[in-house]
């Protein structure tokens, strides 16, 4: 039996920890000692995941050193904004354990994807020997924890490590495919959140199923253009971490990013929407950072642009959609 250290006790981190604990020892770390104390007492995470009880193999820690001690793999599920700091803290503990992250987004201010942050903080695995990778795909915590079938992709530059790490997480109702396209998996997981906000706006405006399907399809074209400009493989965007995650996030009832779009369409201010959400909606910060990055790469991303206008520049949801509809005609598939 292996030990996995899961860092971050939000809904997705807790669901993954609970799933993995069916076959392995798991240490679930959270920064807030009060949150940890509550989980220890209830043997559940009512703050984020209801009353689902923890397996005996799952222990909760607020001490990072204790959490990763004796682990075979670190699974980081902290918000993207805190990822760099977590890597710095792991390095300070002299740990060279392999790390897989399962959060999705771009780092605020730098517009860097998680794999770029990992490269800066941990170095090239071929040189350092410390492997790292990304776990992403169409996955709602509320369904995984209920035992419903879920499939995701684990990507690492080293194919052998991708396979080894996927074996540790794969099993039961969770199927884990492996890939070597870390860039594509990271981009798909990040940018689909922006498209989900757009889909939520479209649905909230009452534009119907035709419009949502168009939004998803054109959104996938944007994600693919952006990813390939960064060195991703186009086929990745046809898989779980691309089209799969995009469709789920744009249509699923548990999608926080889609909910942001729905509420913006109803006329609510972004600040009020986020206050009532209670969870992180990564797409809000990601839209701004993607546009900044896309501009530097010369990549056209009209949906992302309009979402960012609505989120950070006060543009009304209706005006954003109407400006998208008023764009010049172009060939499909580009």
Q: Is 207 exposed, middle or buried (0-12, 13-18, 19+ CB in 10 A)?
A: middle
Strand partners, 136: 153
Q: What is the DSSP letter of 43?
A: T
| Phi then psi dihedrals of residue 4, to 5 deg | -115, 130
Q: What is the DSSP letter of 234?
A: G
- Name the pairing type of β-strands 150-156 and 132-136: antiparallel
| Phi then psi dihedrals of residue 216, to 5 deg | -65, -45
Active site residues: 192
Q: Can you list the alpha helix ranges (DSSP code H) found in the chain?
A: 11-20, 33-42, 46-49, 64-68, 83-92, 114-122, 125-128, 141-144, 159-169, 182-204, 208-229, 245-251, 256-265, 270-277, 282-297, 302-312, 317-325
């Amino acid at each position: 039996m292996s030990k996995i250290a899961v860092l971050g006790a939000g809904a997705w981190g807790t669901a993954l920890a609970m799933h993995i604990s069916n076959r392995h020892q798991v240490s679930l770390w959270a920064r807030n000692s009060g949150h940890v104390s509550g989980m220890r007492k209830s043997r559940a995470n009512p703050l984020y995941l209801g009353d689902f009880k923890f397996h005996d193999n799952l222990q909760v820690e607020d001490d990072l050193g204790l959490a990763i001690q004796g682990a075979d793999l670190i699974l980081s599920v902290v918000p993207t904004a805190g990822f760099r700091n977590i890597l710095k803290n792991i390095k300070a503990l002299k740990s060279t354990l392999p790390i897989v992250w399962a959060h999705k987004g771009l780092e605020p201010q730098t517009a860097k994807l998680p794999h770029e942050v990992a490269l800066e903080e941990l170095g090239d695995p071929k040189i350092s020997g410390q492997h790292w990778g990304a776990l992403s795909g169409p996955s709602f915590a509320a369904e995984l924890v209920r035992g419903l079938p879920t499939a995701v992709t684990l990507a690492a530059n080293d194919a052998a490590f991708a396979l080894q790490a996927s074996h540790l997480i794969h099993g039961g109702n969770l199927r884990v495919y492996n890939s070597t396209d870390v860039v594509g998996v990271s981009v798909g997981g990040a940018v689909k959140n922006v498209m989900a906000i757009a889909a939520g706006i479209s649905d909230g405006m009452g534009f119907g199923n035709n419009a949502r399907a168009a939004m998803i399809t054109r959104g996938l074209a944007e994600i693919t253009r952006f990813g390939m400009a960064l060195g991703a493989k186009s086929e990745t965007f046809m898989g779980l971490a691309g089209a799969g995650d995009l469709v789920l996030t744009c249509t699923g009832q548990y999608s926080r990013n889609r909910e942001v779009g729905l509420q913006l369409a109803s006329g609510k201010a972004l600040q009020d929407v986020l206050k009532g959400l209670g969870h992180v909606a990564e797409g809000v910060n990601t839209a701004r950072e993607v546009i900044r990055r896309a501009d530097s790469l010369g990549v056209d991303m009209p949906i992302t642009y309009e979402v960012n206008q609505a989120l950070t520049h006060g543009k009304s949801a209706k005006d954003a959609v109407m400006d998208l509809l008023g764009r010049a005609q172009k060939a499909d598939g580009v």
